[in-house]
Structure 1
Amino acid sequence: MSVMRSALLTVLAASVSLTVVASGQPARSSRFDVLITNGRIVDGTGSPWMRGDVGIVGDRIAAVGRLTGAGAAATIDATNLVVAPGFIDLLGQSEFNVLVDSRAASKITQGVTTEVTGEGSSIAPVNDRLVQEAAPSAKHFGVAQDWRTLEDYLRRLGERSHPAINMATFVGAGGIRNYVIGKDDRPATAAELERMKRLVAEAMEQGALGLSTSLQYVPDRFASTDEIVELAKVAARYGGVYFTHQRSESSRIFESLDEIFTIAERAGIPAEIWHLKTAYKANFGRMPEVLRRLEAARARGLDVTANQYPYTRASNGLDACLPLWVREGGLEKMIARLNDASERERIKKDMADSAAITWENQWYGAGGGDGVMIASVLNPDLRKWEGMTLTEIGKAM
């Protein structure tokens, strides 16, 4: 199926005005811009699918049903295909990508017309230091870093980028912490916490959906439960929600669930767990108890939910394989530790620890070098390693 055809078959997402035409009756208007015929219409309400047609005028759905005899400038035969509202990707990470290529082809061709982003760290707000940290990637892709607030970013999307998908974002607590404190592993002072709360409030006023965290990664991991609660209270005042990549998806998942329940209760905010899983083989079989605890929390009145993705891989930066203490403080400090022979021995020992509880040992959980594949790099000299596991790269070097 062509890209255009696939995109048109998800055009129902554009609907804000809908007229349902009874089966067998001609459309009230005999002329549409686009007429999709003979599709299996799944309308997203939970109703059974029905065979029918969809008539579109401009960027609005004008009619749904049996539109026999209606004319159109363009007709698409959707026989044996599903016509459905565009899918909402609840955890995409295209906020920078749509500035590089606004077509968002990888989303549109899968039927995704709306993306929610901002997992832990959001594209805004940013200060000069954070802009400088992101400069290598921005320069590589030719993106001018001319926004500082969420309002700036959304204005750029609407006035200049015009992405093919709708974009919505959380304000990331990790990004807020980085803005105010940096990547140091220490509690926020009272003054720093107040500044963080003001930044969350400003982002909520500018259109953020709520507060998010990604508590396995730096600097989110360094935030206490109390700190998150205070920021979540601000989001709650604006009717926002709290979404989280929880602190543990493996050996300490029950303690991690308790933290989410605490945040939801103390902040008075709906909470959702992104990509709920019991990670790594040692934890397979724990999901029934995870679900029981979620159900129990809901039974006592907490608005807590979860979602999943349908695949067995994860994707993040290669530094996620390193212990937290190695990443603490930022890139320069991390590189200095990696260049120190004695520190490297300590790093290797920690990465081989199957019982780590102070961090999520993704290296060990993925099966070491056999389970870690390089997906993409910026340095053209390293492109030859893309698509290879670290074990394969080690053998080839």
Structure 2
Amino acid sequence: MAPAITLAADTPTLSAANTGFMLICSALVMLMTPGLAFFYGGMVRVKSTLNMLMMSFISLGIVTVLWVLYGFSMAFGTDSGSLIGWNSDWVGLSNIGLTELWDGYTIPVFVFLVFQLMFAVLTPALISGALADRVKFTAWALFIALWVTVVYFPVAHWVWGSGGWAFELGVIDFAGGTAVHINAGAAALGVILVIGKRIGFKKDPMRPHSLPLVMLGAALLWFGWFGFNAGSWLGNDDGVGALMFVNTQVATGAAVLGWLAYEKIRHGAFTTLGAASGAVSGLVAITPAGGAVSPLGAIAVGAIAGVLCAMAVGLKYRFGYDDSLDVVGVHLVGGVIGSLLIGFFATGKGQSDVAGLFYGGGLDQFWKQCAGVFGVLAYSLVVSAVLAFLLDKTIGMRVSEDDEVAGIDQAEHAETAYDFSGAGGGAARTAATAPAAPAESKKVDA
């Protein structure tokens, strides 16, 4: 996120152009959450499709309300100890003037807060991909509420809030490599270490049921990511946002090529799932770095991320943790790669004059990036695991074994994604008009 720099002689005034630009970017970031739902929804088996969609969509409701009540105040209010913010005037978004400007910028506070709200909504939704097929919906909803309160809101303050320790240290995170992707990826790892593997992990086939849906979701994510990244400069006056826009496209394209090349060498085929996953890995990696590197640097960041993330997704089989849809391999690893490569590829001619090792800046910025990366990773991993443990020991995190085998869509939502009976409607509707199926049919693994 852009640092607040204001010259005494240049008191900002409201810019209709920047305000409109940022509202469009906010809408693009909002689109990423349904896009993520489709991306994840296509990657699971038929019997888990609706649950996967709902795990993303529920974040739109829960996080929006919490952001209004206290989240914005915690993330961007007056700093306390470099760890958390607070501003009682922002509780319930009260006492904010319609034309009151975000400090140092030409956009209203309302525009900034709604842009940041969409980041807060997306981040816990990213975690859901690691937990496919096996988590109670009520437990997931409660986990979101607790997680954003004790993890996301404080971490957003560390990274982007004035006075936050990472912000003051000089950690570069243009649009969320640490606050969003490492944060979500580490949380995913913490939770799955607590709740365990899916039934049949490494034994039963768990292939994506709809690769066209995966590609649609990836396309929506790619499209929305331009708002996610370019909008994070909070304006469009000096070309930095344009650089980020270009680098977003360049790195993503390079990551697709890197992932597919690795896949062809390692497995002998170019897959559509690999192309979609490669695109997301490039988007993740360029998110922290895109304002600091050149387009040539973006190619390097994307290609490196594409190859290393493709390698990383196989680690779950080696180490035995069930990261269902590769949140750890793509978001955690991609976020770490993109954040650390700033220390090598920052040109000093983008968002700031900070240069990386390859541009004569030494390793000073690299060590700062390491502090931000591993500080956020450790905090999110530990706290997320503790939250999952507490929920599991109280209300229970997992559905029953029977429900998991029969299908979490039926158990948690009383619906199915696809109605092959020709009668129309969901399971709840057809159940009222159709004779009961034999008990054995409920055990069919779709």
| TM-score bracket for the superposition, by shorter chain length | under 0.3
Structure (1 or 2) with the larger CA radius of gyration: 1
Q: Which has the higher strand share?
A: 1
**Structure with bigger RCO (C-alpha 8 Å, 6+ apart):** 2
Q: TM-score, normalised by structure 2?
A: 0.25
Q: Which has the higher helix share?
A: 2
Q: TM-score, normalised by structure 1?
A: 0.27
